[in-house]
A and B are shown apart, each in its own frame.
Chain A
Amino acid sequence: MPDSATLPTLEDAISLGLTEGEYELICEKQGGPPNQVELAMYSLLWSEHCAYKHSKKLLRTLPTEGPHVVMGPGENAGAVDVGNGLVCAFKVESHNHPSAVEPFQGAATGVGGILRDIFAIGARPIAVLDSLRFGEPGESARSRYLLDGAVSGIGHYGNSIGVPTVGGEVYFEGPYEQNCLVNAMALGLAPREQLVRSAAAGPGNVVILFGASTGRDGIGGASVLASAELGEDDDKRPTVQVGDPFEESKLLECSLELLELGLLVALQDLGAAGLTSSASEMASKGEVGIDIDIAAVPLREADMEPFEVMVSESQERMLCVVEPRNVAAVLEVCEKWEVEGAAIGAVTDTGRMRVLRDGEPLGDMPVRALVDDCPLYDLAPAKPAAPLYAPPAQVLDPAASPGESLLALLASPNIASRRPLFEQYDSIVGSRTVRRPEQADAAVLALPDGGALAVSIDCNGRRVAADPRNGTIAAVLECAANLACVGAEPLGTTNNLNFGNPEKPHIAWQLTEAVAGLGEACRALQAPIVGGNVSLYNEAPAPAGPIYPTPVIGMVGRLPDAHRGGRLGFLNEGDAVALVGPFAPAQPASELAKLRGQALPDGLPLVDLGAAVAALAAVRDAVRTGALSSAHDVAEGGVAVALAECAIAGRLGADVRLGDGFWEALGPAGEDDAPNWPEGSADASLFGEAPAGILVSGPEAGLRLLAERAHVRLIGRVDGDRLRVEVDGQPLLDAAVEDLAAAHAGGLKDYFA
């Protein structure tokens, strides 16, 4: 080897993020110390980001199989059967650390990366959703900068490539001040037989790299950014990649045309760790070897070091395996789409990953060692003895009237209208969007057979922080409730586990509990996990500390008739208003508690998962038959905010009575064991939160049918242009819908002036 004279040392390995034990194991696998190229490649593939070394054992406990699953975890994206020969591919992925350094490009390339995952398995992307977390925008100029940059970046990439951004969520909490979260989810559609896997096969076949040329951007991103806590941001700026949606648009069309023509054996996108991970993973999955000739890689800069070529994270690149007789045809399709394509290597039967330059060997590693032999670590979870998170600042006087509290909640950053964000996104390109943002709880996308897909993404990190297990169950239930409100049945789930440093016992505890809750809820809903991503080390030195544990859940479902997709706004005066489900509101960990500056509770009440799942199924079926005029799940801000949201969306008021004995239980399921309202606490009745509550409106006959299968409490009527609510017979709220709408519309507007 040419550079064997100056082999890197243990210290070099440690500076690349490896441990001493890992370095020794690499030496053993290599039969001696690795050279610079080899060490660079090992350090990336053995990073947390690529090897999941602290999370893989936990992830193995999740349910991944079900009747609709076509492709489970391990491929570029998961896929579920949506009927009539079509599959829906989907996945969520994080781009947290790059976005904290440079929000516009970080978020833009997050979208670009998740879209490549979708078309890498042969599906045409049809929708993007995003899940964002920042510090308090009112207090922090940095959070406003990150918010504005991330939203612009998502819009820039999604709008320019012509894939609609149909939904998403954003929360603002102090613990995200130093570590914002930018998770992007994408969905794609493909004929079942066009799905392609990433396993390289056929020794002698040609490896072709196509798309953008390779530059120095994103060198070492996976290990440097994604696998360690962030310190001095500015030093890391060169490790953030720059996105080019136009290049990706051509790459997308080119890839899909290559697959349609049947010219590819395997396809894989280049993401974290660039050529290193895509080539090694393709070889590993196919149990073959791959030789890469870096002299054949089209470069942006002529003098790049071999290891730089191998680890560059330049965007908009794909790697494919092609039979020799098809190489000319592949390059012709590349030429048509003005995409650069180059044969850079070959599949071998050696089981080794070899890096060459014009035939001169620069690196030679067993594929199995690179991809599969990274040690997996057991976590050492321990519940923290003291609270991890400081109470939030008090911004609402606890003595404020219910009316004032409602207006404050509607204008608060976590509840206010998301219109200033989603108006920056094209939500309709592709002509599938049946329900746009703020029209329904989930986005609804028409399918060619007259049915539709529904999709939702959610996670209230504050509730997960209060109780990692029940909080995660609540996040999964909320996604499922969103789907039920449009009439959809869950088909599969994706997740992005955003946590702090798992080597710390309290974070390990959060992670372990959250994954247990995730598995439990997905099993109960029969919505298996088909893919996902893990983002750890989201914490900053004290006093900032770790983020709220944030297991972002994305769920995809199907409804049989796109015309029957549910809406959230009240529709008809005189409709009955009812609350469905085993909903037992409580104030701790609620949005109101946050505005009042209250500390997080230690634990949340248990959820009756069986009753919750039954209630969601009943609502789903009622929406499908057209029995309901509106359906909306009760989330942040409790029943009062949910009522206000239905009123604002429908521009109709309501007359509502809450409190024990003031509502009417409908039907047999409601009579005996419906949960009670919190006694003597008007605040908890109005603003208390809990999973599994759905607010519906419709003709009373339809609600009585619903009551045969779930707890249904009749609480009022749609009426006039004011929202009036009594609790235990006391009139506590009386507000014009117009005023509620104004408060709701104004909360985030100024941050995008």
Chain B
Amino acid sequence: MKFGVLQFPGSCDEVDALEAVRMVGDAELIWHRDRDLQGADAIVVPGGFSYGDYLRAGAIARFSPAMESVIEFAREGGLVLGICNGFQVLCEARLLPGALLPNVNLRFTSRQVDVEVLNSGGSFTRACALGETLSIPAKHSWGRWYADERTLAEMDEQGQFVLRYGPGQNFNGSLHDIAGVCNAEGNVMGLMPHPEHAVDELIGGSADGLKLFESMRMTVEALVA
């Protein structure tokens, strides 16, 4: 099982993500100019400020050569997880529905949040129980997830809401407290909180984030088997 973690100029959390997924499998960084995904079984698009994010978060990264390959990989059913800026990139790439708007407080905000698992059977949450609460840090200024009514209804029907902020935890103002979503096929997921910063009690105060990476490993191994 091998993870590929994308690296753009301006990525911040790519090494953290690399070390986190190495706790459950092999992993390598993939340079943004590289079209070769190096045989990765799953891709993580990490947090940060890709290309400075001076235009709109994720708007430029979506056109990078590595992302072109990731889009193809996702369309063929490959597992892709976008964290924070990675979520923004996946929305810009239209691999995930909705968009991320500036936080309601219009400030960068960093806070440990509780998120509730809404969909436990999926490719990214197999290792979680339905309704389980995960304690994971969130830190961003553009994290307010939004989608129109029709999209919301379709997503609800297809079970595309994966994580929801716990009561009082939704500081960014996301619609219906949505913290993480997946595509209709279930192989692409994005979330604003940072599971790679909750893989070690010593550092994160919680290792709950590891369950998402563990789930990805289980999903890939189930596919291979």
Interface residues of A, Cβ cutoff 8 Å to B: 152, 155-156, 159-162, 244-247, 249-250, 253, 337-338, 422-434, 446, 562-563, 752
Most A CB contacts (10 A, CB to CB) among B20, B48, B53 go to: B48
A244 to B53, CA, bound (A): 11
Does B52 lie at the interface of the complex (its beta carbon under 8 Å from any beta carbon of A)? Answer: yes
* A148 closest partner in B (C-beta): B107
Q: A residues within 8 A CB of B204?
A: 428
> Size band of the B side of the interface?
20 to 34
In residues 53-81 of chain B, which contact A (Cβ within 8 Å)?
Answer: 53-54
Q: In the bound complex, what is the Cα–Cα distance between A250 and B32 (angstroms)?
A: 13
Q: Is the CB of B13 within 8 A of A162?
A: yes
Q: Do B110 and A244 touch (CB < 8 A)?
A: no
Q: Which residues of B contact A425 (CB under 8 A)?
A: 108, 110
B10-61: which have CB < 8 Å to A?
A: 10-13, 15-16, 19-20, 47-49, 51-54
| Top 9 A-B residue pairs of the complex, sorted by shortest distance between their CB atoms | A162-B12, A246-B52, A431-B16, A160-B49, A426-B139, A246-B10, A428-B197, A155-B108, A250-B9
- Contact between B108 and A431, CB atoms less than 8 A apart: no
> Nearest chain A CB to B143's CB is how many angstroms away?
13
Q: Is the CB of A426 within 8 A of B54?
A: no
Complex CA distance for A249 and B54, rounded to whole angstroms:
14
A residues less than 8 Å from B197 (CB atoms): 428-429, 431
Chain A residue numbers with a CB within 8 Å of B196 are 431
| Chain A residue, CB-CB nearest to B139 | A426
CB-defined interface of B171-191 with A at 8 Å, one 1/0 digit per residue? 000000000000000000000
User: With an 8 A cutoff between CB atoms, is B222 at the interface?
Assistant: no
Q: Which residues of chain A come closer than 8 Å to B202, judged between CB atoms?
A: 434, 446, 562-563
B86 at interface by CB-CB < 8 Å = no
Query: Taking CB as reference atom, which chain A residue is nearest B16?
Result: A431
Question: How far is B197's CA from A428's CA once the two chains are assembled, in angstroms?
Answer: 7
A residues in contact with B109, CB < 8 Å: 423-424
By the criterion CB–CB under 8 Å, are A160 and B52 in contact? Answer: yes
The 15 listed contacts between A and B (C-beta, < 8 Å) are A162-B48, A244-B52, A245-B52, A246-B54, A249-B10, A250-B9, A250-B10, A423-B110, A424-B109, A424-B110, A426-B139, A431-B16, A431-B19, A431-B203, A752-B107
**Extra inter-chain contacts (9) besides given A253-B9, A562-B202, CB under 8 Å:** A246-B9, A246-B10, A246-B54, A422-B110, A425-B108, A426-B12, A426-B110, A428-B139, A429-B47
A159 touches B108 (CB 8 A): yes
User: Which of the residues A337, A426, A446 comes within 8 Å of B9, measured between beta carbons?
Assistant: A337
Is B94 in the interface zone, CB < 8 Å from A?
A: no
Contacts of A562 in B (CB 8 A): 202
Kindly state the separation between the CA atoms of A380 and B29 in the bound complex, as whole angstroms: 60
B202-221 interface bits toward A, Cβ cutoff 8 Å, 1 = contact, 0 = none:
11100000000000000000
Chain A residues whose CB sits within 8 angstroms of the CB of B11 once the complex forms: 162
B137 at the interface (CB under 8 A from A): yes
Looking at the assembled complex, report how far the CB atom of B152 sits from the nearest CB atom of chain A, in whole angstroms: 29
Interface residue SS majority, chain B: mixed
If the complex has contacts A424-B107, A424-B110, are A160 and B203 also in contact, measured as CB distance less than 8 A? no
A431 contact set on B, CB distance < 8 A: 15-16, 19-20, 196-197, 200, 203
**Chain A contacts for B111, CB-based, 8 A:** 423
Contact, CB under 8 Å: B13 / A429:
yes
A249 touches B9 (CB 8 A): yes
Cα separation A24 to B110 with both chains bound (whole Å): 56
Distance from B170 Cβ to chain A, minimum over Cβ atoms (Å): 15
Q: Which B residues lie within 8 Å of A245 (CB)?
A: 49, 52
Q: How far is the CA of A457 from the CA of B203 in the complex (A)?
A: 21
A249 to B137: give the CA distance in the assembly, Å. Answer: 23
How far does the Cβ of A219 sit from chain B's closest Cβ, in whole Å?
A: 25
CB distance from A604 to the nearest CB of B (A): 37
Asked if residues A432 and B110 are in contact (CB atoms below 8 Å), the reply is no
Report B114-155 CB contacts with A as 1/0, cut-off 8 Å.
Answer: 000000000000000000000001010000000000000000
Q: A155-B108, A424-B108 are in contact. Are A433 and B203 (CB under 8 A)?
A: yes
**Which chain B residues border A162 with CB–CB below 8 Å?**
11-13, 48
Residue among B12, B47, B54, B137 facing the most chain A CB atoms (10 A cut-off) = B12
Q: Which residues of B contact A432 (CB under 8 A)?
A: 203
Q: How far in angstroms is the closest Cβ of chain B from A519?
A: 37
Which among A338, A427, A428, A432 has the highest number of chain B CB atoms within 10 Å?
A: A428
A245 to B49, CA, bound (A): 10
Once the chains bind, are B203 and A434 in contact (CB under 8 Å)?
Answer: yes
Across the interface, A446 reaches (CB within 8 A) one of B10, B49, B203, namely: B203
Residues in A whose Cβ lies below 8 Å from that of B203: 428, 431-434, 446
Distance to closest chain A CB from B53 (angstroms): 8
A432 vs B9: C-alpha distance when bound (angstroms): 22
How near does chain A come to B178, taking the closest CB pair, in angstroms? 21
* Least distance between B180 CB and chain A CB atoms (Å): 19
Interface string of B80-116 (1 = CB under 8 A from A): 0000000000000000000000000001111100000
B10 to A338, Cβ gap below 8 A?
no
Q: Considering only CB atoms, which chain A residue lies closest to B112 in the complex?
A: A436
Contacts of A426 in B (CB 8 A): 12, 108, 110, 139
